[in-house]
Amino acid sequence: MKIYGLELLRGLSITMTRFIVSYTAGFKRTFSNRLRGQFRQDPLGKGIFTVQYPEEKLKAPERFRVLPVLIFDGREGDKWSQETERCTACGICAKVCPPQCIWIVQAKDASGKAVPKASEFTIDTDVCMNCGLCVEFCPFDAIKMDHSFEISTYERKESHIYDIDKLHVSTEYHAKIHPKAWAKEEAKKKADAEKKAAAAAAAALKKPAETKSNE
Amino acid sequence: MAADKIRLNPTEEELLEEEIQKHLFITPLDKLVDYLYNWGRKNSIWPLQFGLACCAIEMICTAASRYDIARFGAELFRASPRQADLMIVSGTVTKKMVPMIVRLYDQMPEPKYVISMGACATSGGPFKEGYNVVSGIDKFLPVDVYITGCPPTPQALLHALITLQDKISRQSVKTVRWYGKKRDAEIPVPLLGPDLIDVRRTDEIKEICARPAEPQPALPAIVPAFKITPSVPDGAAQAAVELSQRINEMVGAGTAVPAGETLVIQPSSIAKVGRYLKQQSGLELDYLSNLTCTDYQDCYEVVYHLYSTKKPGPAVCLKARVPKGDPRVPSLTPVWPGADFQEREVWDLYGVRFEGHPSLKRILLWEGFEGHPMRKDYLEAYYETSGKLFPSRWKEGRHQRAEERVPFADNVKYPAGFNPEGYREKEEIFKPVTSKSLDRLKTDTLVVNLGPQHPSTHGVFRMRIVLDGERIAALEPVMGYMHRNHEKIGERNTYIMNFPYTDRLDYICSMGNNLGYAITVEKMLGVKPPERAEYIRVIMAELTRVVNHFWAIGFLLNDLGAFFTPALYAIEERELILDLFEMASGSRMMCNYMRFGGVTEDLPEEFMPMAKTLVNDRLPKAIDGLDRYLTNNEILSGRCKGVGILPREAAVAFSAAGPVLRASGVSYDVRKAEPYSIYDRFDFHVPTFREGDVYARYKVRIAEMWESLKILKKALKEIPGGEAEPAKKLWNIRVPAGEAYGRVENPKGELGYYIVSDGTDHPYRYHVRAPSFINLTPLELMCKGQLVADVVAILGSIDIVLGETDR
């Protein structure tokens, strides 16, 4: 004889088990120092899976990308200036941007000659697809992907067009959200500088020798 | 006195009210009422169960256990607009879909709110330049909260919800629009004419159309079709020469001319050649994988890629070159019924007529649309130049919205002299259905439209069902509601720009899409990724398969009526795998991780430990859980066994692919038939079942997950060190002239890319063979005679994603 409904009970038992485990595991999570404050659930973790946003927030992995930001050399709270900005208006980010959401105006000096700085840099965040190609191909580490995703607005016509002032963040901020990438960039910079110094030193050594021989 | 009071002008009235409020006890009471009124509303926002594109997947995840929108009192997703307060416009709004969205909004009772989720809904986003995309839902509906991102993460959507709650809490019962005397009028539903017609702008459109036409921008360069060169007898080219000789002998002299590795066939004898190759040639080319078209200077070239499911090997590629004046070619549907939708697509986008096709009509656009948009001389309203970079962006790049530089200030264009006044939409054409049983009963059939807004159609897909009682007499899939012009945009993009767009094809399996595209272009470039990158690719592709099948099974159960519980458990596992993707690539869904000759960046250190724990410890338990609780479940087997049968022969003939094909007893898997990447090094089965019903398709998916885990375990153990990034990273890579068809076994079936290069930095032709699209061709066959309730299950078992179906 076939008994109907057993499968139904079996299904309900899954939910029941989960319900009970959410308490047993939950107690552990509340009272364990190791697990406290850890909102991204461990792959073998049990119990409640929910992240209580906005009180808790998932820790974003370093490579997480939302919108691009421009980098200037400085500390948080500083204001960017043409001296500290890293962008050289080379335009590679605009050239590689798939939906073409980057607009750049190259700066000009007093005599009207173009200089390798951006005077205007605009990103239409309504078109940006958060793909990160601009960051990947920027030769100057001048554009990076931000982690800030809490950007809901009531209006879009004005506030969704990010201009150069809104886009600029400090190297300090960049180092804070991308510690590993920052360390890598700095190491590379240092190595490059050393190489350059060594080359310069070698050239300097060579030069006096040459001048002597000329004499 | 009383009369005086009435005659007070508004400013005085306001002054008086202020005065009263100062002196009386009204203020706190007022505030209390507002507070209670807003408190109640903001904590019980019921969203409409309505999703458009990729963002809808993130919306579903927001409702699932990790983010749990129920904590905000907003978990009651209502399928009926009459019960909903909030419309989350989640994804690309296309012109074909916007009349339905406006209608739904009009049907929602006040108070109602709109959240515009993601870049597409807000302004058209990355697809803005497309010919079928509306530049933002706020062109039609009043939007309360915008959340930008592509797609916004679930947390970002929750933030938008909190922002909306904040807005609600600042409203006052005295000033809200729905209690005032002057109610807002309904928003008129836009019409689908030669282009989208906003009926509120009729006069304006008429006036602009009457003006003399503005000079057209320069047309993109159109190259002549590749010359038929005397082929060099080597490898594949040699095979083509031999095959052409055989065809000329058997079908008629001069029918086939070899051109490199392909054959150029006389258009009039294409059906004869097809029949010969399928039945008599001994090659058993029973599988029409891909059918598409390319626009050349001197002809339209219809391209066919044929395979055999019995003999693994490379494709036989046929081409029919038809003149530009009146392009016609015989239909191949009598030989391969799987050509049906693909031929309709070519007709829709290129205007090539297929003679003898049973119902040749538009498939992605609508009847009445002006022009065939994939033709090179079709320029969209926002057209700037034929290739990116757009010159307006750099050096003197001052921001200007695309709307600001076009005559209609919107993404529309009409023929000269067009008058929208009294315009009547062209009627859709459907096959008439007759049934003998109905004559006897003196009754009639009933036409039911399932979709495009229906919770079980897995997106904006529509089925026009003709019912004879409870049984299906006829079914016709109607699609294109998410046609966002992937191919047209892809031909303007440089090669590298197409990567992030491929993510948005089948947005559940973006890693797999990346892989297919990378492999195809690598074929043309002749580059090979380093060993480590190959392993990373396989790991990612197989994790994607697991993700997809969890999702598919979860939602199949949803379709069967086990509303959301199994899906919740499935999404939980998916979330953990998405963490891996996010770690490696930076995004949960839109990974954009692969490059020509490698991957973007090597795996982060925390990837391997977590991947190993998941693959070795967690996922086997989770799959086993699904297997144990579901496979023998009486309800599941009762609903799925013997339902939606697709016989073996039909599956092959209709070009079904992936789990759908394998559930019908055809052991065909691209990973085995034409191994790509390093799949030949892994030992795995191709799970095949003979029944061909919904249950078999479910079982194939479970079995495939086990096989994927097997591959993953081995790959994670053996992955070598070394470089994973391409040796040379170029943003403007040029691809040598030529063409390639590359395909991978994506979780949904064979995903193919057909690319023609003219030697520049953007593809001349870029076509995607979408498994979700072609797998729908046998849908009517599967559903005919079944109960209407089972149609939903059958569709769920095919497992479609609309981003890929409509592209």
A124-172 per-position pLDDT tens digit: 999 999 999 999 999 888 999 999 888 899 988 888 899 998 899 998 9
Q: Tell me the three state secondary structure of residue B325.
A: coil
pLDDT at B19: 65
Yes or no: say if B475 and B464 are a contact pair by the CB < 8 Å rule. yes
pLDDT tier, B5 (very low <50, low <70, confident <90, very high otherwise): very low
User: For residue B88, which phi and psi values (nearest 5 degrees)?
Assistant: -95, 105
The mean pLDDT of B229-244, rounded to a whole number, is: 68
**Helices B694-718 and B788-798: crossing angle, nearest 10°?**
20
B55 touches chain A (CB under 8 A): no
**Token pair 């001319």: residue:** B257
For the cut 50, the answer to whether the pLDDT of residue B167 exceeds it is yes
**Separation of alpha carbons B574 and B580, rounded Å:** 10
Alpha-carbon gap, residue B786 to B370, rounded angstroms: 38
Query: What is the arithmetic mean of pLDDT over B518-542?
Result: 91
Mean pLDDT of A102-118: 88
The answer to whether A156 and A76 have CB atoms below 8 angstroms apart is no
* Phi, psi of B110, deg, nearest 5: -70, 155
Q: Which residues of A touch B501 (CB under 8 A)?
A: 98
**pTM, rounded to two decimals:** 0.89
Confidence band for A52, pLDDT divided at 50, 70 and 90? confident
**Closest C-alpha to B145, from B177, B122, B170:** B122
| Interface contact A126-B145, CB threshold 8 A | no
Phi-psi region of B207 (alpha: psi -120 to 50; beta: other; left: phi over 0): alpha
Written as six digits, the tokens of B263 are: 């054959």
Structure tokens given for B458: 């897995």
Give backbone dihedrals phi and psi of B306, rounded to 5 degrees, phi first: -115, 145
pLDDT band at B22 (very low <50, low <70, confident <90, very high): low
Q: Give the mean model confidence (pLDDT) for residues B776-800.
A: 90
Residue type, B153: T
Task: Provide, as residue numbers in chain A, all residues whose Cβ is less than 8 Å from the Cβ of B155.
Answer: 51, 53, 57-58, 149-150
B260: closest CA among B222, B289, B225, B284?
Answer: B225
Q: Residue range A77-103: average pLDDT?
A: 89
Average pLDDT over residues B138-153: 91
List the structure tokens of B503. Answer: 């993510």
| Distances from the Cα of B594 to the Cα of A94, A120, A169, B538, B546, angstroms | 21, 32, 28, 11, 19
Q: Nearest Cα to B98, choosing from B565, B487, B653, B481?
A: B481
Q: How many residues does chain B have?
A: 807
Higher pLDDT, A206 or B770: B770
Among residues B627, B599, B628, which one has the least CA distance to residue B534? B599
Distance CA B6, CA B13 (A): 9
Paired tokens of B128: 């803005």
Q: In what order do the strands lie in the sheet with A161-162?
A: A102-108, A114-124, A161-162
Q: Are the C-beta atoms of A149 and A130 separated by less than 8 Å?
A: no
Give the tokens for residue B550: 């969890």
pLDDT at B128 over 80: yes
Query: How many interface pairs between A and B have CB atoms less than 8 angstroms apart?
Result: 229
Q: Mean pLDDT over residues A41-58, rounded?
A: 78
* Residue B116 phi, psi (nearest 5): -95, 110
Name which of A34, A66, A213 is nearest B155 in CA terms: A66
Taking the CA of residue A121 and the nearest CA in chain B, the distance in Å comes to 8
What gap in Å lies between CA B701 and CA B799, rounded to an integer?
A: 11
Which range has the worst mean pLDDT, B104-108, B214-218, B224-228, B791-795?
B224-228
Q: What is the CA radius of gyration of chain B?
A: 28
**Residue from the list B397, B496, B499 with its beta carbon closest to the beta carbon of A103:** B397
d(C-alpha B44, C-alpha B371), whole Å: 47
Spatial contact of B305 and B331, defined as CB atoms under 8 Å apart: no
Best mutation target among A152, A163, A167, A177 (most B Cβ atoms within 10 Å) is A152
Identify the pLDDT of residue B18.
Answer: 65
Residue with tokens 């948080």: A76
CB-CB under 8 Å, A127 with B126: yes
Most A CBs within 10 A among B113, B148, B630, hence the mutation to make, goes to B148
Element (H, E) at B707: helix B694-718
Q: List helix spans (H) across A78-168.
A: 92-96, 133-137, 164-167
Would an 8 Å CB–CB cutoff place B391 in contact with chain A? no
Enumerate long-range contacts of B716-720, CB under 8 Å, 24 or more apart: B716/B539, B716/B608, B716/B611, B716/B612, B716/B615, B718/B535, B719/B532, B719/B535, B719/B536, B719/B539, B720/B531, B720/B532, B720/B535
Q: Do B572 and A130 touch (CB under 8 A)?
A: no
Among B17-21, B248-252, B510-514, B666-670, where is mean pLDDT lowest? B17-21
The answer for B337, left when phi > 0, alpha when psi is -120 to 50, beta otherwise, is: alpha
The pLDDT of residue B2 is above 50: no
Task: Kindly state the average pLDDT of the residues B622-642.
Answer: 86
- Closest to B350 (Cα-Cα) out of B338, B358, B362: B362
In whole numbers, what is the pLDDT of chain B averaged over residues? 87
Taking the CB of residue B387, how many other CB atoms lie within 10 A of it? 15
Dump pLDDT digits (tens) for A15-48.
888 888 888 877 776 666 555 555 556 777 777 7
pLDDT above 60 for B183: yes
Q: How far is A161 from chain B (nearest CA, A)?
A: 9
Query: By the CB < 8 Å criterion, does A52 face chain B?
Result: yes
Tell me the average pLDDT across A56-69.
Answer: 88
Which of B146, B385, B560 should be substituted to probe chain A, the one whose Cβ sees the most A Cβ atoms within 10 Å?
Answer: B146
Contact B67 A149 (CB under 8 A): no
The predicted structure's pLDDT at residue B227: 66
Strands B191-192 and B196-197: antiparallel
- Listed ranges A24-33, B3-12, B177-186; the one with the highest mean pLDDT: B177-186
H helices of chain A, in order, are: 6-31, 92-96, 133-137, 164-167, 171-177, 179-214
Instruction: Give pLDDT, residue B3.
Output: 40
Confidence of residue B498 (pLDDT cuts 50, 70, 90): very high
Q: Distance between CA B223 and CA B760 in Å, rounded?
A: 12
Name the residue among A50, A98, A127 with its Cβ closest to that of B119: A127
Is there a contact between B581 and B574 (Cβ–Cβ < 8 Å)?
A: no
Say if residue B1's pLDDT is above 60. no
pLDDT given at position A36: 53
A73 — phi, psi (to 5°)? Answer: -75, 115
pLDDT for residue B20 is more than 70: no
CA distances to A12, B227, B235, B255, B257 from B241, in Å? 65, 15, 10, 13, 8
Contact: B65, A50; criterion CB under 8 Å: yes
- Of all residues in chain A, what percent carry a pLDDT higher than 70? 89
**What does the alpha-carbon distance between residue B623 and residue B635 come to, in Å, rounded to a whole number?**
19
The Cα of A37 is separated from the nearest Cα of chain B by a number of Å equal to 16
Residue B756 phi, psi (nearest 5): -115, 130
Contact criterion met (CB < 8 Å) for A128 and B148 = yes
> Token match 């406290």: residue?
A36
